[in-house]
């Protein structure tokens, strides 16, 4: 990918105040593949003290959405049309990492998946998988 295309992902991400609230950032961008990460902040927890499903979802959805954006023309943004999350284990640890991937690119619909891992004591475990559809919209 061109540096401009990568920058476009980072700029769009930076414009999402929710990502700043969650302390999230983009860690890697490649064609059809984006990795994002966030600490499990004190303000992003559920009733048992683990990371909230809303955090896991937000990170997984965002990685998938930007993965879709890497395969689309520069003139568009993407929005999530639908996405499903299966939560496999509690979000225990210090940090979540999401890896989004394009399964089927398309001008009208882009099918994506995402895996979310929780990192504790330097060990990552898969805590959620997502499968969804991203839709290009004019910027």
Binding site for a second copy (CB under 8 A): 12-13, 15-18, 20-22, 42-48, 52-55, 57-58, 61-62, 77, 79-90, 103-104, 108-109, 111, 113, 126, 129, 131-133, 135
> Which sign, positive or negative, has the C-alpha torsion 130, 102, 4, 1?
positive
Q: How far apart are CB 1 and a second copy at their closest, in Å? A: 19
Q: Nearer to a second copy by C-beta: 35 or 128?
A: 128
63 Cβ contact list (under 8 Å, min separation 6): 34, 35, 36, 98, 99, 100, 114
Q: Element (H or E) spanning 118, and its range? A: strand 110-120
Please give the distance of CA 115 from its chain centroid, rounded to a whole number: 9
- What interhelical angle do 3-14 and 53-69 show, nearest 10? 150
Q: How far apart are CB 122 and a second copy at their closest, in Å? A: 22
Q: How far apart are CB 28 and a second copy at their closest, in Å? A: 19
Q: How far apart are CB 87 and a second copy at their closest, in Å? A: 6
Q: Nearer to a second copy by C-beta: 35 or 51?
A: 51
């Amino acid at each position: 990918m061109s540096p401009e295309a990568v920058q476009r992902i980072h700029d769009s991400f930076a414009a999402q105040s929710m990502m700043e609230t969650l302390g999230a950032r983009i860690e890697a961008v490649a064609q059809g593949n984006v990795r994002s990460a966030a600490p499990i902040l004190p303000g992003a927890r559920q009733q048992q003290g683990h990371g909230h499903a809303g955090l896991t979802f937000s990170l997984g959805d965002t990685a998938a959405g930007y993965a879709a954006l890497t395969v689309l023309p520069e003139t568009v943004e993407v929005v999530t049309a639908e996405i499903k999350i299966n939560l496999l284990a509690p979000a225990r640890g210090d940090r979540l990492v999401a890896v989004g991937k394009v399964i089927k690119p398309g001008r009208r619909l882009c099918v994506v998946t995402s895996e979310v891992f929780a990192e504790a004591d330097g060990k990552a475990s898969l805590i959620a998988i997502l499968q969804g559809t991203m839709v290009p919209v004019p910027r």
